[in-house]
Amino acid sequence: MKLRFITSLTTLAIASLVISACGATPTTAPTQSAAPTTAPATEAPTATVQPTDTAAAATATETPTTAATAAATSAATAAATSTSLKVGLILVGPYNDKGWNQANYEAMQYVTQKDPNVTFDYVDKVNSSDRPNTTGAQVADDLIAKGAKLIIFDSDDFKDDALATAKKYPNIPIIHTSGDYSWKDGKNYKNQNNLINIMGQMEYGKMMAGCAAALGTQTGKIGFLGPLINDETRRLADSAYLGAKYCWTTYLKKDAKALQFKVTWIGYWFNIPGVTLDPTKVADDFFNGGYDVVISSIDTPEAATEAKKIAASGKNVKYVHYDYKNGCDLAPDVCLGAAYFNWGPAYLDAAHKAMAGTLTQYFAWNPPDWKDINNPDTSAVGFIEGKALGDKKSIEDQFIKGLGDGSIDLFKGPLYLQDGSLYLKDGEQATPQQIWYMPQLLQGMEGASSSK
């Protein structure tokens, strides 16, 4: 009998171990209240997304900014004008991941600061590994039940959940960041009037990241720490490569063949033990394999922490951060820069439209504000230059300026895909669709274009 009892306990122990291991990774409980933090934002919060004027030349190739075809009469906005709004934010990873999710979380904080009439609830770590038995659509149900009148799904992963939620609640606008269901000229258009897609033109951010990597590498070997493989991630990896190649050959006057650019995909936006490759190990392998610069393209900061650790042991390694503005603070001495999203203005604009009852389907692929890419009120994409750029900062500046005034256009032929097929003819400029639906990595890059 005692044995049975002991076995029961053992079984229980094992079961609870496994459950807790599969369960949420213990990030500390959020202490920050989602309630509107003071900030008497009387200073006209006019931060609109529409990136305006001058840079038109540069952005002309990637036109699709807010196509707010406000079908004003639409039924989807039966929700009348209201003076306050609660937003429900659904994050795929931890709200404090120093990356993608934190950028989204802080964007909503920005919105509540700019307009105290807006409040938000959020649920983070909404993925089947951290929260088994919970789907994004279910979380949306609960947020709506708690009074949310605008839902933001922050990950590509939620495209099915976002669509299902939009169908289920036709009177509540649903924003899905990074998706394309509401892009009329896209491949996957769904006629769902309350579904909105917002994305930043991170191609530019990644070109700047790639340039910084090229300027920072001593060995000519750049590692790209990639998440999963899809159109978006291929697009961003290719952009980084184009930026790196341009700066390597144009400014450093080095041979393109002497530049190695290797992409390793871990399989998800962040580490899931036992399921994805471990990004810590991938970053380590890069650094120990002679790749002295790693460009992060995942949600979490493993590239930064590993670079810091390995640099402390005396090796000359550096990293480029992604998603989160303050990414260089993680390891300032070895940071070449941080390409980041600034979702705040776009979310503020959407919140105002929701309050006015005019938020209907649109697809926004918002560019940097070329007058000041780091303007928190106007630029959807920015790049913070890191300390490790050293005296090469001026070159990076020159590159960014060129992108902004249109004198540097990297998605212009001739360009070849990884399998040798033609992507863009000589002189041909890529259409927004050709960029968005990037079919492969480019010729000259190492790594998988699709999963095996």
Partner 1 sequence: MAENAPPNSPALSPTWQHPRNTWLQVGALVISLAIVALLISFTGASPVSVVANLWDGAFGTTDQAARVIATLAPLLLCSSGLIYTFMAGLYNLGVEGQIIIGAIAATAILRGLQGVLPATLVVALSIVAGMLGGMLWSLLAGVLNVYGKISEIFSGLGLNFVAQGLIIYLIFGPWKRPGIASMSGTEPFHQSLWLVRFGNTDASPVALGIAVVLLIATIVVMRNTHFGLRLKAVGQNPRAAFLMGIPATQLLLSAFALCGGFAGIAGALQVSGLFHRLVPAISSNLGFLGLLVAMLVNFSALWVLPVAFFFSALNVGSLQLPMVLKLESSLSGVIQGMLVLAALLSRGLSQWKPSR
Q: Which residues bind partner 1 (CB under 8 A)?
A: 1-5, 7-12, 14-16, 18-20, 22-24, 26, 29-31, 33, 121-125, 128-129, 131-135, 138-139, 141-143, 145-146, 157, 160, 168, 228-231, 265, 267-268, 272, 274-276, 439, 448, 450-452
The residue among 79 and 139 lying less far from partner 1, judged by its C-beta, is 139
* Residue (95 or 286) nearer to partner 1, CB: 95
- State how far Cα 236 lies from the chain centre: 10
Distance (Å, rounded) from C-alpha 338 to C-alpha 386? 7
Cα 187 from Cα 204, distance rounded (Å): 23
- Considering the complex, what minimum distance in angstroms separates the CB of residue 192 from partner 1? 15
Burial of 83 (0-12, 13-18, 19+ CB in 10 A): exposed
* CA–CA separation, 346 and 120 (whole Å): 15
Nearest CB to partner 1, comparing residues 257 and 452: 452
Distance CA 227, CA 37 (A): 34
User: What count of residues does the chain have?
Assistant: 452
Query: What span, in angstroms and rounded, lies between the C-alpha atoms of 320 and 210?
Result: 8
- 51 vs 136, beta carbon nearer partner 1: 136
CB 301, min distance to partner 1, A? 20
Helical (H) or strand (E) element with 424: strand 422-424
- DSSP states of 301-344 as a string? -HHHHHHHHHHHTT---EEEEEE-GGGGGGSGGGEEEEEEE--H
Distance of CA 439 to the CA centre of its chain: 19
As given in the structure block, the two tokens for residue 10 are 């053992």
Q: Provide, rounded to whole angstroms, the least separation between the CB of residue 140 and partner 1.
A: 10
Q: Which residues contact 95 (CB under 8 A, 6 or more apart)?
A: 27, 30, 101, 102, 105, 122, 124
Closest CB to partner 1 among residues 98, 159 = 159
Shortest distance, CB of residue 113 to partner 1, whole angstroms?
19
In whole angstroms, the minimum distance from the beta carbon of 125 to partner 1 comes to: 8
Q: For residue 423, count CB atoms less than 10 angstroms from its CB and return exposed for 0-12, middle for 13-18, buried for 19 or more.
A: buried
Least spacing, CB of residue 37 vs partner 1, in Å: 15
Largest CA distance in the chain: 82
d(CA 108, CA 101): 11
Q: How far is the CB of 306 from partner 1 (least distance, A)?
A: 22
Between residues 65 and 177, which has the closer beta carbon with respect to partner 1? 177
Structure letter (DSSP) for residue 417: B
Residue 416: CB minimum distance to partner 1, A: 19
Query: Among residues 157 and 292, whose Cβ is nearest to partner 1?
Result: 157
Cα dihedral 102, 359, 366, 49, rounded to 10, equals -90
- Asked if 93 and 375 touch (Cβ cutoff 8 Å), the reply is no
In whole angstroms, the minimum distance from the beta carbon of 202 to partner 1 comes to 18
Q: Token match 């006015």: residue?
A: 356
Q: Mind giving me the DSSP string for 37-50?
A: P-----S-----S-
Which residue, 73 or 451, has its beta carbon nearer to partner 1? 451
Residue 30 beta carbon to partner 1: minimum distance, rounded to whole angstroms: 5
Our CB check for partner 1 shows the closer of 135 and 260 to be 135
By C-beta, is 92 or 384 nearer to partner 1? Answer: 92
